[in-house]
Amino acid sequence: GVTVQGKIVKDLQVDTLLPPSIERFPWAGHMGLRMLSQVVAEVESSASCLVFTNTRAQSEIWYQALLEARPDWAGLIALHH
């Protein structure tokens, strides 16, 4: 195999988005989609962005939610799981 690397120095910023109030999370099924508007705002304010999820199912749900919130992002965002 070959490792491809860029020699450009980049500033990286890692942010964790938290809800305004943290309540008890359910044991199952918690997707965090109530944070959709915050995630959209963070993606919009970034030159490039990665959104991490815990599972393949979550990545599919978030991808669809982002496209529903911002249909103009079709073809601009991608899903990888």
Query: In the chain, where are the structural domains located?
Result: 33-73
Return the DSSP state at 76.
T
Spatial neighbors of 40 by CB under 8 A, at least 6 apart, are 66, 69, 70
pLDDT at 77: 96
pLDDT at 30: 64
The whole-number mean pLDDT for each consecutive block of 10 residues of the chain, a chain of 81 residues, reads 88 86 66 88 92 90 96 95 78
pLDDT at 63: 96
Report how far residue 38's alpha carbon sits from residue 81's, in angstroms, rounded to the nearest whole number.
22
Instruction: Say if CB 65 and CB 57 are below 8 A apart.
Output: no
Report how far residue 40's alpha carbon sits from residue 45's, in angstroms, rounded to the nearest whole number.
9
pLDDT at 10: 84
